[in-house]
């Protein structure tokens, strides 16, 4: 091992920028959310798929669009020792379309429905809810043009959020049209912005040449003003696309999903066509109470109002992606939820189950070397008997072991002392009453089983460690 300076060492035990460790309750919360989302998706007929974290870099370059930020600056792309150019996947849709074509899924009953969950990677500057390695839960419907597929994807996405207690979600949506009508609209848009070119910010002047659609979701005040009267994609939709969009809206109406039309919603990936959408969570009950709660009405309208909502998910239709990858016409629609953005909301607004893990009910205590050496074997006997057990074998004193046992809130302690270890007996201590009796070890299993049958869940060892905020 090379010797490292103190500074180097310090770097060594810090995760790299935009990446983090997930453990404890956050891990359990995340598992729980994914479990629920999976449950909903499965019910609606989505099957599982996992694609590689590494793909040919080209797969993303050609599909997402050469001018998009994701491809231009955010992709973790590198050459392997073998000389291939590969990339850590920045998104999930292109790989799934690749898989669809690679495995000839067009021979399956159409459409093919997939859910997926996993890590994705984008090299951008981290901020709230944005990581370089992040986790998405996504849905894809491949092989149909039917607007009900769009409705289904949005519906299931909203249901997954409702399932975990995030009731108030609002869908922003738009339609970009197909190749034909999108081209017409785009032309008009360029003409419009040419006329108002001076009003645009520096970036948007560049976008006007490269990717004029993106001017619409520029956040600069001046560009937003310029955009208000810009030609809207929906008014350029061809008859076919118009009908398609109308039917999508009808499906959402019928499903009781709240949505607003957002003419500025364009999205950054080139492969989108027709329906595009983003899903927002609205905090319930924003109404300020009028009591004397130390009125913050002084000057402070800034921070309370400007709280911009973070999109929890987004997606859309990508009818041309199949042609780009495999010269095959595969109309499809999909979406992804940003799990990292959902988890913090769950703590405040979610319907989290009381305990995310099954707490142990019995604590195994050992005393002395003979007992300690028998412990591993005896614990396995208890595991076979399906008795949820905890232990702290590395501790030697009885006191510290019981201390831990009581903190865990177990019902019983099974105490194996020097004497018991020699006798093949064990002491069962009732942690509430303090009463205890010595039993032959073989009998203690049945004894514990019958005792535990009556007991419910022990008080869980506090699942959430942060109460205020």
| Contacting positions for RNA (CB under 7 A) | 6-7, 10, 14, 16-18, 68-70, 74, 91, 122, 124-131, 134, 136, 203, 207, 214, 217-220, 267-269, 278, 308, 311-315, 336-338, 340-341, 367, 395-400, 402-403, 405-407, 415, 417-420, 427, 429, 431-434, 436
Shortest Å distance, C-beta 431 to RNA: 4
17 or 246: whose CB is closer to RNA? 17
> Residues 182-190: contacts with CB within 8 Å, 24+ apart?
182/233, 182/236, 182/273, 184/236, 185/231, 185/233, 185/236, 186/212, 186/213, 188/231, 188/236, 189/213, 189/215, 189/230, 189/231
Shortest Å distance, C-beta 292 to RNA: 27
Three-class SS state of 441: helix
> Do 463 and 355 meet the contact criterion of CB atoms below 8 Å apart?
yes
**Residue 431 CA to chain centroid, in angstroms?**
40
Alpha-carbon distance of 315 to 311, in angstroms, equals 11
Shortest Å distance, C-beta 196 to RNA: 17
Shortest Å distance, C-beta 368 to RNA: 8
Which residue, chain included where needed, has tokens 């999909």? Answer: 334
Shortest Å distance, C-beta 32 to RNA: 19
Residues facing residue 88 across a β-bridge: 54
HSE, CB side, 13 Å, CA atoms: give it for residue 462.
5
For residue 141, give both structure tokens.
């419907």
Three-class SS state of 155: helix
53 or 240: whose CB is closer to RNA? 53
Is the preceding omega at residue 11 within 30 degrees of 0, hence cis? no
178 or 416: whose CB is closer to RNA? 416
144 or 276: whose CB is closer to RNA? 276
407 or 455: whose CB is closer to RNA? 407
**Residue 370 CA to chain centroid, in angstroms?**
48
87 or 291: whose CB is closer to RNA? 87
73 or 246: whose CB is closer to RNA? 73
> Do 240 and 273 meet the contact criterion of CB atoms below 8 Å apart?
no
Shortest Å distance, C-beta 290 to RNA: 27
Alpha-carbon distance of 324 to 328, in angstroms, equals 8
Shortest Å distance, C-beta 337 to RNA: 6
Give the 3-state secondary structure percentages of the chain, helix then strand then coil, rounded to 5. Answer: 45, 20, 40
Shortest Å distance, C-beta 422 to RNA: 9
DSSP single-letter state for residue 463: S
Minimal CA–CA distance to 232: which of 177, 314, 273? 177
SS (H, E, C) 361-377: CEEEEECCHHHHHHHHH
Shortest Å distance, C-beta 454 to RNA: 18
Residues facing residue 48 across a β-bridge: 115
77 or 238: whose CB is closer to RNA? 77
75 or 330: whose CB is closer to RNA? 75
CA 218, 222, 226, 228 dihedral sign is positive
């Amino acid at each position: 091992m090379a010797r490292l300076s103190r500074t180097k060492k310090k770097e060594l035990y810090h995760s790299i920028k935009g990446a983090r460790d997930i453990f404890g309750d956050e891990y359990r919360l995340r598992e729980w959310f994914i479990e629920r989302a999976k449950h909903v998706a499965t019910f609606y007929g989505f099957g599982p798929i996992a694609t590689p974290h590494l793909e040919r870099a080209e797969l993303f370059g050609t599909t997402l669009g050469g001018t998009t930020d994701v491809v231009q600056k955010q992709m973790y792309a590198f050459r392997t020792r073998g000389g291939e150019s590969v990339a850590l996947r920045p998104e999930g849709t292109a790989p799934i379309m690749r898989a669809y074509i690679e495995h000839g899924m067009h021979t399956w009953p159409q459409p093919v429905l997939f859910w997926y969950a996993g890590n994705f990677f984008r090299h951008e500057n981290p901020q709230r809810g944005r990581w370089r390695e992040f986790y998405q839960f996504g849905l894809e419907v491949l092989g149909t043009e039917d607007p009900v597929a769009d409705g289904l994807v949005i519906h299931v996405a909203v249901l997954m959020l409702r399932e975990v207690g995030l009731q108030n979600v609002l869908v922003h949506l738009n339609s970009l049209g197909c190749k034909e009508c999108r081209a017409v609209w785009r032309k008009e848009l360029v003409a419009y912005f040419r006329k108002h070119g001076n009003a645009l910010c520096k970036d948007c002047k560049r976008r006007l040449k490269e990717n004029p659609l993106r001017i619409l979701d520029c956040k600069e005040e001046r560009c937003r003003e310029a955009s208000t009267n810009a030609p809207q994609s929906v008014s350029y939709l061809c008859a076919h696309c118009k009908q398609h969009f109308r039917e999508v809206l009808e499906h959402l109406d019928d499903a009781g999903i709240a949505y607003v039309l957002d003419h500025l919603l364009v999205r950054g990936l080139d492969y989108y066509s027709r329906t595009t959408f983003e899903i927002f969570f609205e905090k319930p009950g924003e109404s300020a109470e009028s009591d004397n709660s130390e009125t913050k009405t002084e000057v402070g309208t800034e921070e309370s109002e400007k709280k911009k909502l973070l999109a929890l998910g987004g997606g859309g239709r990508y009818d041309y992606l199949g042609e780009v990858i495999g010269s095959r016409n595969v109309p499809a629609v999909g979406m992804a939820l940003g799990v990292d953005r959902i988890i913090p909301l769950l703590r405040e607004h979610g319907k989290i189950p009381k305990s995310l893990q099954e707490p142990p009910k019995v604590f195994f205590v050992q005393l002395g070397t003979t007992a300690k050496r028998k412990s591993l074997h005896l614990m396995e006997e208890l595991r076979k008997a399906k008795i949820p057990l905890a232990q702290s074998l590395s501790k030697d004193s009885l006191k510290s072991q019981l201390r831990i046992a009581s903190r865990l809130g177990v019902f019983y302690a099974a105490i194996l002392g020097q004497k018991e270890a020699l006798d093949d007996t064990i002491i069962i201590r009732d942690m509430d009453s303090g009463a205890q009796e010595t039993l032959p070890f073989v009998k203690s299993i049945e004894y514990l089983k019958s005792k535990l049958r009556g007991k419910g869940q022990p008080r869980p060892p506090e699942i959430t460690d942060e109460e205020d905020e």
